[in-house]
Structure 1
Amino acid sequence: MKILAFGEVLLRFTVPDHLLLEQSDLVQLSTVGTGVNLLGSLAHFGYQTVLMTKLPANPLGRRVAADLRRLGISDQFVGYSGGHLGSFFVELGHGSRPERVTYQDRLASSFCAADATTYDFETALEGVNYVHICGIALSLTDQTRNAVYTLAKLAHAKGIQVCFDFNFRMSLNTGNSHRAMKQRYEQILPYADVVFGSKRDLVELLDYPDRSDEECYAQFTADYHVTTFAGTRRTNDNQRKYFQGFMMHAGKLFQSHPREIRILDRIGSGDAFASGVITGLIEKWPIDKTLDFAVANSVLTQATLNDTPLFTQQDVFDYLASNGQNELIR
């Protein structure tokens, strides 16, 4: 089973020891991004993964490519151009203080500057079973938008399963009108088979009526002929936090059991959930099993520092078997 992801790679600088950025002269460097996180997780689950992106044509780009290979991700379709990579700083939350992310300029990156014509999508799709596209590309540049539209149309025409993640970020769209963003998402959704998102995406971005979850999801999947719509929600009960997944499939809404979470680092939690769902689809598991697996992978990831999930299928099943009371990951 082979999964291709298309998207940007970012450098993450994490401030250590729960310090604020102003308090520390040191940071921890890691290679991340939606595609990196998702594929890294799927590689640990035993699947063949490949990332298509652009990296700087300098030692930084080569270092990042080495990080991809270390995660088990093929860099066969990584191109090199330009000299800049987007980055962000993370200050970990603690107690009542939330986690804070500060982005550097990502729009000047090699990925954001690369035109669709510089990618060999035809060759990259050979032997691929699933393609994953992150919606953030719709918020970046004309070049990234044209590239994802081209890839989605081609993959769809070839009968390859297209997974699309809304990943809509208001912080990336302060200069874009609601109408423009809605049109961009409406343009790609007809080519998607599996979509990750939330009710908020449907109501606030696509202007769906604010009805019950099941009615809203049923209308969306019917409108765009989406086979699976999945996402997560967070709830609180006194001092405890819970994480839950849902999936709309074949006209029926399924919901997982809420699992208590103790958050060390919540970045990448959605990517961990998505990789779990894709695993269930690949393995043709029952939906309840798929949701439990996806939620557990995300819960484990949120209890781990950094974006990319590094757990095997057996790690996740051990967690589920012990109901989250594992004392040792083998």
Structure 2
Amino acid sequence: MAQIITFGEVLMRLSTPGFARFEQAQQFNVTYAGGEANVAAALAYWGHSTAHVTRFPDTPVGRAAAHYLRYHGVDISHMLYGGNRIAVYFLETGVAMRPSQIVYDRQFSSFAELNPAEIEWDHILKDAKWFHWAGITPALSQAAADACLEGIRTARKYGLTVSGDIFYRSNLWKYGKKPSEILPELTAGTDLVVGSPFIFKDIFGIEPGATFEESCQRLHEAFPQVSRVVDTHRTSVSASHNLLRASMWNGNKVLETEDIEINPIIDRVGGGDAFIAGLIHGLLTFNDEQRALEFGVAASALKHTIEGDALVSTEAEVEAIRQGDTSGRIKR
């Protein structure tokens, strides 16, 4: 059985070639992507046993998306099939002063119309160690939100560590519910939260503290299960030149990393997922939270240099960046 389980929608990604604008595109490059699945893929490359739970239409396109996950080493044995369409997003990659643009087409997707009762959470989670979810998933439908909540409750029952990226896309909530109505119950069962003081106020009504540590303590008071809070900090010099660092409250103090400079950026989509994967890997592998946090930032930085949503890398490549080797010298 897989040790790390992720849950969420996987989309077809259609990106313009190079840095072409949507209006210029005569064709699109095709791959598949999903925040939680990206986490599973990166962890699989570093030797972890991972499985992703999702639903695809039983069509050649749906099966191609499933094979994409398997290609990256992710267990697809818990995959569901049904519905009529796969969700799609279109990407125009920015450069210099022009930002990237994403257009979503994911209403009435196979995943959004899933039946929560079809997911056998007890079977999937009983022998696992970690369960990861993200705020985009419960934005898609009440069914998706219910399935995510049941996954968290089952993970709690079996003593798994639960991580949740509570950042969400406000324009996805179209089924009559607000994030503030759904995300608190999900967060209540989560051990490690990825979020910011601004998000805490927006979703939970928790006023920001004078410091990040104070804000995290207030979140913990509202949700005692939360024992770690993580946030990344990006300085955008341009669309193709960023600085990246991170902070983590571990229940006692705040750990911080130094900035990593990323220039030029090839593809920043999936960078947050790579950070989460790196952090999970570090927490499971190293007996050192500071190193785990630094590994997460290094993984995210490396992802910015790789096309597609998934971080394709070895642990050694990420560790070299964590230790300061950002020269890009050729490896022979």
Q: Is this a same-fold pair by TM over 0.5?
A: yes
AA of the residue aligned to 1:188: L
Contact 2:33 2:310 in 1 (8 A): yes
Q: Distance in 2 between matches of 1:291 and 1:84?
A: 38
Q: Distance in 2 between matches of 1:255 and 1:176?
A: 38
Give the gaps of 5 or more residues in structure 2. Answer: none
Other-structure match for 1:169: 169
Contact 1:139 1:172 in 2 (8 A): yes
Contact 2:38 2:274 in 1 (8 A): yes
Pair 1:48 & 2:49 matched: yes
> Aligned pair count?
327
What does residue range 201-280 of structure 1 map to in structure 2 within 5 Å? 201-211=199-209, 212-225=211-224, 226-236=226-236, 241-262=242-263, 263-280=265-282
Percent identical pairs in the alignment equals 26
SS in 1 for 2:306: coil
AA of the residue aligned to 2:109: S
AA of the residue aligned to 1:205: I
Other-structure match for 1:30: 31
SS in 1 for 2:231: strand
Contact 1:235 1:241 in 2 (8 A): yes
Other-structure match for 1:295: 297
Deviates more, 1:14-23 or 1:202-211: 202-211
Contact 2:126 2:158 in 1 (8 A): no
Give a deviation string over 1:105-128, Cα, whole Å, max 9, x none.
Answer: x12111110111011111111321
Pair 1:184 & 2:185 matched: no
Contact 1:168 1:201 in 2 (8 A): no
SS in 2 for 1:186: helix
Other-structure match for 1:108: 108
AA of the residue aligned to 2:115: D
Q: Distance in 2 between matches of 1:209 and 1:54?
A: 37
CA shift for structure 1 position 285: 3.0
Other-structure match for 1:309: 311
CA shift for structure 1 position 63: 1.0
CA shift for structure 1 position 142: 1.0
Q: Distance in 1 between matches of 2:258 and 2:331?
A: 22
Q: Distance in 1 between matches of 2:123 and 2:326?
A: 43
Q: Distance in 1 between matches of 2:175 and 2:115?
A: 22
Contact 1:230 1:245 in 2 (8 A): yes
Give a deviation string over 1:168-197, Cα, whole Å, max 9, x none.
Answer: 1122237757xx321211111111111111
Give a deviation string over 1:197-229, Cα, whole Å, max 9, x none.
Answer: 122211222221132211101211233121211
Q: Distance in 1 between matches of 2:108 and 2:241?
A: 41
Q: Distance in 1 between matches of 2:237 and 2:125?
A: 45
CA shift for structure 1 position 237: 6.4
Contact 1:2 1:130 in 2 (8 A): yes
Give the gaps of 5 or more residues in structure 1. Answer: none
Q: In the superposition, relative to structure 1, how do residues 162 and 8 fare at CA in structure 2: closer, same or farther (>3 Å)?
A: same
Structure showing the higher helix proportion among its residues = 1
Q: Distance in 2 between matches of 1:176 and 1:266?
A: 31
Q: Distance in 2 between matches of 1:38 and 1:206?
A: 26
Q: Distance in 2 between matches of 1:164 and 1:255?
A: 20
Q: In the superposition, relative to structure 1, how do residues 241 and 100 fare at CA in structure 2: closer, same or farther (>3 Å)?
A: same
CA shift for structure 1 position 320: 2.8
Contact 1:107 1:113 in 2 (8 A): no
Contact 1:319 1:325 in 2 (8 A): no
SS in 2 for 1:17: coil
Give a deviation string over 1:237-285, Cα, whole Å, max 9, x none.
Answer: 6996311111110221111111112222211111011001101111143
Q: Distance in 1 between matches of 2:231 and 2:88?
A: 26
TM-score by length of 2: 0.94
Pair 1:15 & 2:16 matched: yes
Other-structure match for 1:74: 75
Q: In the superposition, relative to structure 1, how do residues 118 and 240 fare at CA in structure 2: closer, same or farther (>3 Å)?
A: closer
Q: Distance in 1 between matches of 2:142 and 2:320?
A: 45
Contact 1:319 1:326 in 2 (8 A): no
